[in-house]
A and B are shown apart, each in its own frame.
Chain A
Amino acid sequence: MKRVTLELGGKSPNLVFADCKLEERVLASVAECMYNTGQSCDAPTRLLVEKSCYDEVLKIAKRAADSIAVGDPEDEGPHIGPLFDKIQFDRVQEMIKVGIEEGANLLAGGLGKPEGYDVGWYVKPTIFSDVKNDMRIAREEIFGPVLVIIPFEDEVDAISIANDSLYGLAGYIQTGDPERAERVASKLRAGAIHINGSGIEYGTPFGGYKQSGNGREGGTMGLEDYQEVKTLHGLFSKA
């Protein structure tokens, strides 16, 4: 029997509570979803937003998406590049089409290449709002710069939507209340919970719950996954 460790992706929730620094946290959240052109397994791809600040968040998110630059990988700077291959370009275009057909509101971006990029597998940073968590664009990993925004009523509702996923790789919480941060973190079924934009350090075990896989990579736990344990008995006389 082989030992098997797996890391299989995610659809990680990002819970935005009205008590966070809204402008700063929403701008950063959109940027983080689009980072690496959305091709990260632990990207915060489901933005769950408290209803009391939902309209304001949509305005900030649209501004954020419109300001994300797409550009040539050869150029220095914080822009995002193309997707890795035509295969991925086609997959992402298909999922944007699915989102439109499912009735989500296209807040930014959309189908096709950004203006001026006929060559290369570039896509538009895209945001859907008024998304329902049972839509395909909220359930399937798109692996491109596509964010879905889903409103929630209160903390209990937010946790319920966050955990309603096959995946459990990461979770993100934006709040000004440290007690809420820890309380919500304890209820999210995911391997890494990022509070107010904090990243993971090298050496911290990385891995997921549920369909995101098993095993942990990095640091001490990352070493232990490659070891067998053997016990020795009777090496020393007990007399």
Chain B
Amino acid sequence: MERFNQFYIDGEWVAPASKLNMPIINPATERRIGTLALGNREDVDRAVAAAKAAFSSYSRSSKAMRVDLLHEVKDKTKRRFEDLAQAMRVEMGAPITMSRNAQTDAAIGHLESFIDALEKLQERVTLDNGDVMVREPIGVCGLITPWNWPVNQIVLKVLPALATGCTCVLKPSEHTPISAMIYAEIIHEAGYPAGVFNLINGEGPIVGAAMSQHRDIQMMSFTGSVRGGDSGHTRRCSNGEACDIRAGWQITKFSFR
């Protein structure tokens, strides 16, 4: 598959700077599906730069435009529904019935509730005391998702980022890259401006760490394991300061699930 050797950056599928790769195996057959290109810090820099450049105009897009784009995503998701379901069957071994009825259904279910929520969300409110409060997109978001509910977790992070006017770099689990590639195609077909959404593959200690340390990423959303406790992988999030991890726990190891 051609996409195995490509990342989606700034609106197009591009060759990675890194030469790293790993085999992708179907867990039901133990057969190799393909060889996945894994990124490095240079690839992260390139994706973040695209997201940063896109943020200046996309962050000012109207709510109506963002709602329209989400409706486009819904339309394209419905068309690629079976592709997503089959991808998760192959890459993580999800039995096809639940892959459709639960794993892929989440792509539509969460999307519909985000559209409802965005339509109702007041982005500008006059407070009782006369002051005005506005809600603005936080910036470039780094999104790291696990292999156990691949599409569910992608939509729970990518969609709210795009809905609120943020731009993002997604690093899905390197074990389940196919559903993420299809989702990138869905976002592309929906018509988002180049750079708003970017996809790179890679390993936590390299790509995940480069994202969490990147000065131009304003927010990290991570779903995965707290397993490990290997302090050698503890990462500082930005500008030499420790992460604002509100519960007080450290991400000690990016061993993604």
Q: Which residues of A contact B (CB under 8 A)?
A: 1-9, 35-37, 39-41, 71-86, 119-121, 141, 143, 202-203, 206, 210-211, 213-215, 217-220, 222-233, 235-236, 238
Q: Which residue of B lies closest to A118 (CB)?
A: B30
CB distance from A128 to the nearest CB of B (A): 20
Number of interface residues of B (CB under 8 A): 74
Contact of B114 with A219 in the complex, beta carbons under 8 Å = yes
Interface of B is mostly: mixed
Contact of A39 with B148 in the complex, beta carbons under 8 Å = yes
Q: Which among A80, A120, A213, A226 is the interface contact of B95 at CB below 8 angstroms?
A: A80
Bound Cα distance from A219 to B62, whole angstroms: 19
Contact of B226 with A8 in the complex, beta carbons under 8 Å = yes
Contact with A along B3-42 (1 / 0, CB 8 A): 0000000000000000000000101111000000000000
Contact of B131 with A9 in the complex, beta carbons under 8 Å = no
Task: Chain B residues near A235: list those with CB within 8 A.
Answer: 132
B234 within 8 A of A: no
Give the 10 A-B CB pairs with smallest separation, nearest first: A203-B113, A202-B109, A232-B132, A81-B93, A8-B226, A2-B237, A39-B148, A217-B156, A7-B223, A3-B219
Task: Chain A residues near B135: list those with CB within 8 A.
Answer: 224, 227-230
B157 within 8 A of A: yes
Task: Chain A residues near B219: list those with CB within 8 A.
Answer: 2-5, 225-226
CB distance from A144 to the nearest CB of B (A): 11
B106 within 8 A of A: yes
**Selected A-B contacts with CB under 8 Å, 13 pairs:** A1-B244, A2-B217, A41-B148, A72-B95, A75-B95, A84-B92, A84-B148, A203-B112, A214-B246, A218-B110, A219-B113, A226-B164, A227-B137
Bound Cα distance from A183 to B196, whole angstroms: 46
Task: Chain A residues near B64: list those with CB within 8 A.
Answer: none
Contact of B114 with A222 in the complex, beta carbons under 8 Å = yes
4 additional A-B residue pairs with CB within 8 Å, beyond A3-B219, A81-B27:
A121-B28, A203-B110, A203-B112, A211-B226
B136 within 8 A of A: yes
B245 within 8 A of A: yes
Given contacts A36-B148, A84-B175, contact A6 B132 (CB under 8 A): no
Task: Chain A residues near B224: list those with CB within 8 A.
Answer: 7-9
CB distance from A74 to the nearest CB of B (A): 6
Q: Which residue of A lies closest to B106 (CB)?
A: A202
Q: Which among A1, A41, A120, A229 is the interface contact of B28 at CB below 8 angstroms?
A: A120
Q: Which residues of B contact A (CB under 8 A)?
A: 25, 27-30, 89-90, 92-99, 102, 106, 109-110, 112-114, 116-118, 120-121, 127, 130-138, 141, 147-149, 156-157, 160-161, 163-164, 166, 175-176, 212, 217-227, 237-239, 241, 243-247, 249, 251, 257
Task: Chain B residues near A80: list those with CB within 8 A.
Answer: 95
Contact of B238 with A2 in the complex, beta carbons under 8 Å = yes
CB distance from B252 to the nearest CB of A (A): 10
Contact of A9 with B226 in the complex, beta carbons under 8 Å = yes
Contact of B137 with A6 in the complex, beta carbons under 8 Å = no
Contact of A2 with B218 in the complex, beta carbons under 8 Å = yes
Task: Chain B residues near A78: list those with CB within 8 A.
Answer: 95, 97-98
CB distance from B101 to the nearest CB of A (A): 10
Contact of A231 with B176 in the complex, beta carbons under 8 Å = no
Task: Chain B residues near A85: list those with CB within 8 A.
Answer: 25, 27, 147, 175
Contact of B227 with A141 in the complex, beta carbons under 8 Å = yes
Given contacts A5-B221, A228-B136, contact A77 B25 (CB under 8 A): no
Contact of B147 with A141 in the complex, beta carbons under 8 Å = no
Task: Chain B residues near A232: list those with CB within 8 A.
Answer: 131-134
Contact of B156 with A222 in the complex, beta carbons under 8 Å = yes
CB distance from B209 to the nearest CB of A (A): 13
Bound Cα distance from A1 to B218, whole angstroms: 8
CB distance from A226 to the nearest CB of B (A): 4
Task: Chain A residues near B247: list those with CB within 8 A.
Answer: 6, 210-211, 213-214
